[in-house]
Chains A and B, each alone.
Chain A
Amino acid sequence: MLTLQCPYCGVMAEETELHAGGEAHLTRYGPGSEDQDFESYLFKRENPKGVHFERWRHVNGCGKWFHAARCTVTLEVFGTYPAQTTEPPQDIKDTITAKRPGWSLRNLT
């Protein structure tokens, strides 16, 4: 079972305690934006086979939304971090680089 540490309350939460919220760091286009941008915000996804940044909610716990960096092939968790950021923090990126040499942050827009 997948376990993630909630960065707010510190609990190691099993996936049954959490709710998955999809890809993180999307650019949220609003009314008046180009069709293409709106489509990419609503539907287009990186869906990588490898490093993935994603949103989770600690539903059966403190209730907070947070972010996780995870490998979709091995299910290895690189780390979790608070949701109030538009990009993964440097220490998470460093952890990933150490474990997946040559890895690069994809275009997150």
Chain B
Amino acid sequence: MKRYSAFAIAREALRNHTGWDRAWRKAQPKNRYDVVIIGAGGHGLATAYYLGKNFGITNVAVLEKGWLGGGNTGRNTTIIRSNYLQDPSAAIYEKSRSLYETLSQDLNYNIMFSPRGVMMLAQTQHEVRGYLRTAHANALQGVKTEFIPPKRVKEICPIINLDGPRYPVLGALWQDRAGTARHDAVAWGYARACSDMGMDIIQKCEVTGIRQEGGTVKGVTTTKGDIDCEKLGIVVAGHSGVLADMAGFRLPIESVALQALVSEPIKPVMDCVVMANTVHGYMSQSDKGEMVIGGGADGYNNYTQRGSFHHVEETVRALVETFPMISRLKMLRWWGGIVDMTGDRSPILSKTPLENCFINCGWGTGGFKAIPGSGWGFAELMAKGHSPLTEEFALTRFREGKFIDESVAAGVAH
């Protein structure tokens, strides 16, 4: 692999960009791998990367039914933060956020991590108390956040209307090293690094069956033939239920659509991310100048990756009191992704009823921020059979009642 650098850009500029290689090799499946990962979204690719980097396991294939990053990894609004309430969440999300800080350097790929700060507005007394509690919890967890008064909110984000009338801004939970990154680049960067370690990333290869014998996985059946493996990782987000059905177990998951939209591009007006959870809306501005807007998930089971028109109205209506300027903006595009929602709104990184089969799913509306940390922990789980990062996220917690209840703390799209 040729390294990317300022020098390489200059060199290629002088020879009409004829010297760039493919970022990752086009691969055909072999008959057998040590590890097969199903799903080349961010989580699947990051898992493969840390299997290689941290454990030297490089005889790995990542199988993708569509194109790389074409699932939720390429459809999200890219918010990265780690200001959760529960300790197990703080551990994995903060690990992830801190890996994002140096990910461009680690992968030699510019993922455009932008720690511009994330602000979660408190617009009711209930939210004020909730975020004060989270700020205290974060202090104990070693996650740097603070509760800021309305005056600071206005200084950081001048386009906010503080006064209501329905939902005045009473303060905010502020994390200054939270922010955004370029979603496609995260998938592409990991893919390039995996390919460089000799792993096969195989696109347009849909898994249609999981072959097993006596409770152990032997391999998978795909649209490109049978592939054997020692260990299998299922990392398919909205399609987790479909894969679990092939494997023969059920999950505490429902798949629903989550939508987002962007406005026409405008001059810079906002250099942080603002989330308004009471009204269910959040916004940031992309480098191109579009206002990136998201809201709540749809209520019903759905596998169509589409947006719906009334959702645009709902989300914009929610935000317009706090951001009066958006009433003058044209909205350009809207879209949907299928997110995997668990009963307690926390992810599942776990062993399964099948001996050598592992599952990483349930990231729902908020897993982009978790890609590096999830890959780190899940790779450890797959390589060693246990990981301190994933321990509490086992499937068995639903039977035991040991929930990691973030739905109360962060029950909003993000």
Chain A residues with CB under 8 Å of chain B are 1-2, 14-16, 19-20, 22-23, 35-36, 39-40, 42-49, 52, 54, 70, 72-75
Contacts and interface: CB of A to CB of B under 8 A. Distances in A.
Contact of A45 (B242, B251, B304): B251
A40 B308 CA distance: 32
Interface of B: 239, 241-242, 245, 250-255, 298-304, 308-310, 314, 342-343, 398-400
Contacts of A46: 241, 250
Contacts of A40: 250
Q: For the complex, would chain B's binding face be called helix, strand, loop or mixed by DSSP majority?
A: mixed
A47 B302 contact: no
Contacts of A2: 300
Give the most central of B301, B308, B310: most A CB within 10 Å.
B301
Contacts of B398: 39, 42-44
B308 A1 contact: yes
Contacts, number: 70
Given A45-B241, A47-B241, A48-B241, A73 B304 contact: yes
Given A16-B310, A20-B299, A44 B252 contact: yes
B358 to A, nearest CB: 19
Contacts of A36: 399
Contacts of A42: 343, 398
Contacts of B300: 2, 15, 20, 54, 70
A22 B399 contact: no
B309 A1 contact: yes
Nearest to B299: A20
Given A39-B399, A47-B255, A75 B302 contact: yes
A72 B245 CA distance: 16
8 contacts: A1-B308, A14-B310, A22-B254, A43-B398, A45-B252, A48-B241, A49-B241, A54-B300
Contacts of A16: 310, 314
Contacts of A74: 304
A44 B251 contact: yes
